[in-house]
């Protein structure tokens, strides 16, 4: 696993049995993201999204954590093998993080989270495919506004999060394993979400169904069929045929 050292924003690699405590960032991608190459070549500060990286690093440091994981910075996407390993490992990485920072770039400070029409409930973060597992996997999720002000914690917002996402409170509270939800129920959680590439609507569900499979970008909708086939190999839950 590759982590970003918060003191100097250098990338360090760790073997599975030597991974230190780390924070992890959940966010939605913009047009000018800081990428792995930018960190490597020390050009990250030139990107408009550097504020997001800097904010995550500062928050981790404030929480006495020396490392943070940020997908666009820590994954070398020029390597298909590394990308495949990362997407198959991502649920576990979020699950094992000390804390997850959910950065909502379209939500202002002092938002009323209980207002059904607020910027929080309408945030793009709740519409993206990969943020589903980023909400479910970590036990500790802290939501931040665009200015890196705390909006609230997952542990404080179970009911409103359940209303927004359609996910049962028991799964958000980690009182019931995801596997206890029917396949159809779990599939419904992603039904109204979007991904930039058609394959990712399947790949973002790998951890939620505890599936490991190779990534084949270019296969488009075939990825979802492969996911269904893998699920059927492991489960006799007939509700899958609803999808």
Residues listed for the chain: 243
Domain coverage including residue 234: 180-242
Report pLDDT for 225: 96
Whether the CB-CB separation of 4 and 74 falls below 8 Å is answered with yes
Query: What does the alpha-carbon distance between residue 224 and residue 206 come to, in Å, rounded to a whole number?
Result: 10
CA atoms within 13 A on the CB side of 139: 7
- Do 194 and 97 fall into the same domain? no
- Do 41 and 99 fall into the same domain? yes
Please give the full DSSP string across 31-59, using - where no structure is assigned: SS---HHHHHTT-GGGSTTHHHHHHHHHH
- Do 140 and 35 fall into the same domain? yes
pLDDT at 243 over 70: no
Q: Provide the 10 A C-beta neighbour count for residue 114.
A: 12
Please report which confidence band the pLDDT of residue 242 belongs to, taking 50, 70 and 90 as the band edges.
confident
40-89 tens-digit pLDDT: 999 999 999 999 999 999 999 999 999 999 999 999 999 999 999 999 99
Give the chain's domain count: 2
Reported pTM? 0.95
Query: What does the alpha-carbon distance between residue 57 and residue 66 come to, in Å, rounded to a whole number?
Result: 9
197-230 tens-digit pLDDT: 999 999 999 999 999 999 999 999 999 999 999 9
- Do 100 and 112 fall into the same domain? yes
Q: With the C-alpha atoms ordered 132, 80, 224, 31, is the resulting torsion angle positive or negative? A: positive
Distance from chain centroid for Cα 186: 16
The DSSP call for residue 230 is: H
- Do 101 and 6 fall into the same domain? yes
- Do 141 and 54 fall into the same domain? yes
- Do 165 and 193 fall into the same domain? no
């Amino acid at each position: 696993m590759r982590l970003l050292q918060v003191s100097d924003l250098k990338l360090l690699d760790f073997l599975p049995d030597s991974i230190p405590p780390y924070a992890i960032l959940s966010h939605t991608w913009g047009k000018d993201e800081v990428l792995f190459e930018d960190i490597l070549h020390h050009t990250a500060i030139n990107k408009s999204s550097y504020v997001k990286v800097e904010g995550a690093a500062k928050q981790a440091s404030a929480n006495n954590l020396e490392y943070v994981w940020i997908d666009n910075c820590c994954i070398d996407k020029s390597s298909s093998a590394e990308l495949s390993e990362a997407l198959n490992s991502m649920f576990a990485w979020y699950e094992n993080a000390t804390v997850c920072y959910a950065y909502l770039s379209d939500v202002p400070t002092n938002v009323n989270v209980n207002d059904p029409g607020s910027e929080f409930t309408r945030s793009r973060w709740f519409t993206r495919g990969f943020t589903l597992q980023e909400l479910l996997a970590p036990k500790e999720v802290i939501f931040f506004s665009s200015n890196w002000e705390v909006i609230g914690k997952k542990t404080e917002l179970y009911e409103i999060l359940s209303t927004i996402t359609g996910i049962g409170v028991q799964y958000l509270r980690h009182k019931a394993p995801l596997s206890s939800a029917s396949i159809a129920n779990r599939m419904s959680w992603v039904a109204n979400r979007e991904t930039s590439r058609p394959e990712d609507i399947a790949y973002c569900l790998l951890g939620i169904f505890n599936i490991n499979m190779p990534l084949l970008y270019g296969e488009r909708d075939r990825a979802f069929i492969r996911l269904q086939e893998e699920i059927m190999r492991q489960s006799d839950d007939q509700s899958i045929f609803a999808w």
